[in-house]
Amino acid sequence: MNTVTPRIFVAATQQNDGKTTTALGLFSALQKRLGRIGFIKPVGQRFVEIEGKRIDEDSVLMDQTFSVHTPLEAMSPIAVEPDFTRRYIENSNHEFLVRRIQNSFDRAAWEKDFVIVEGTGHAGVGSVFDLSNARVAKLLASKVILITGGGIGRPIDEIALNKALFDKEGVELVGVILNKILPDKFEYVRDFARRGFERLGIDLLGAIPEEPILSNATLGQIAKTTHGTFLNGKNRSRRRVQKVIIGAMNSGNAMQYFKHGTLIITPGDREDVILAALSASTLSEHGGQTIAGLVLCGDLEPSPPILELLQHSEVPAIATPLDSYSVASSIHSMTVKTLPGDVEKIDKIQTLVERYVEIDRLLAKL
């Protein structure tokens, strides 16, 4: 296996700590400094079908964003399908999986100046089939950087736990990136977290403030999550939702909540709320974009005259069979992923990592 090309293994302490977004930002920053960057996600749990092959979503994101020039199957060698664990326990094929990962790494590193290896969750994920992140990092002879959520106590505890697992495999933790720090507490959290990590002999290599655009879902993502279809405005499926409200009050009271970027969840037959939303949009100083859109619940549609008004308006509307509570719960529990082609979001990620992560100090530790 290639042991010459420099590499870094990117892991996180929890799901949704920002591992993929950080890896994306690192790719951009390293590309500027080093040139040809490779990428591999050895073990993937969220995949899409491409030409009959199951490819991890994050590998697709990296390839479509940066044109990595590596076959997708080499960037995503193992897809953990629903029955993968059961089949492994029944008939372990560990040596085959190890060879596949190492051979894929060799292909991902071919003619590259640096390789980013993205893990799957925290250090222990994958232990059930003998391919924990810590063990995969060891297989690939890679040092690791850990991403954790903004804060002081919990992140330090979780980093200490993850470090112990990497230490057990003989994998060096080069540092930590603290992500999604509340802006009004940024300096305070960064200072005390740095001091806390120093007590454990761990370097804080970056501290990134929370940025709403990175966690705000688009209308298209919400339609998919709620099993909805667009009644109109599908061309605005990339519009971001800043706030969600349930329009259960009367229309007069509801108007005060119709702010720019707000998504209104309401039963499809609440024509008073729908008309109020259309009126607010028409009067908007934001060019007809006071609200992000409407989600009409319960498999109910407004009457034909109201539906016609809606379809000729600037307000996107999604119809879903779910009730209002289920829609709100689904949106609240969403994991908002970065999608290929989401230029605004990708640009923001690259800017944040370049500004708040000490890239050159990271490189000096590899």
69-76, long-range: CB within 8 Å, 24+ apart, which pairs?
A: 70/38, 70/39, 70/40, 70/107, 70/108, 70/110, 71/107, 73/104, 74/40, 74/104, 74/107, 74/108, 75/39, 75/40, 75/41, 75/104, 75/108, 76/40, 76/41, 76/44, 76/47
How many Cα atoms occupy the beta-carbon half-sphere of 220 within 13 Å? 10
pLDDT at 15: 86
Q: Quote the pTM value.
A: 0.91
Query: What is the model's pLDDT at position 283?
Result: 66
Fold of 7-214+338-364: Rossmann fold (3.40.50)
* pLDDT tens digit sequence for 185-212: 999 999 999 999 999 999 999 999 999 9
Q: How many CA atoms lie within 13 A of 214 on its CB side?
A: 24
Read off the pLDDT of residues 36-81 as tens digits, 9 standing for 90 and up.
Answer: 999 999 999 889 999 889 999 999 999 999 999 999 999 999 999 8
Provide the pLDDT confidence category of residue 301 given band limits of 50, 70 and 90: confident
What is the chain's Cα-based Rg? 23
Q: What's the mean pLDDT when you consider all of the chain?
A: 94
Q: CATH homologous superfamily for 217-332? A: HprK N-terminal domain-like (3.40.1390.20)
pLDDT confidence of residue 288: 47
Domain segments of the chain as ranges: 7-214+338-364, 217-332
> What pLDDT does 280 receive?
79
From residue 84, give the alpha-carbon distance in Å to each of 47, 155, 182, 274, 364: 13, 31, 38, 47, 39
Tell me the per-residue pLDDT of 162-183, one tens digit each, with 9 for 90 and over.
999 999 999 999 999 999 999 9
pLDDT digits (tens, 9 = 90+) for 107-139: 999 999 999 999 998 899 999 999 999 999 999
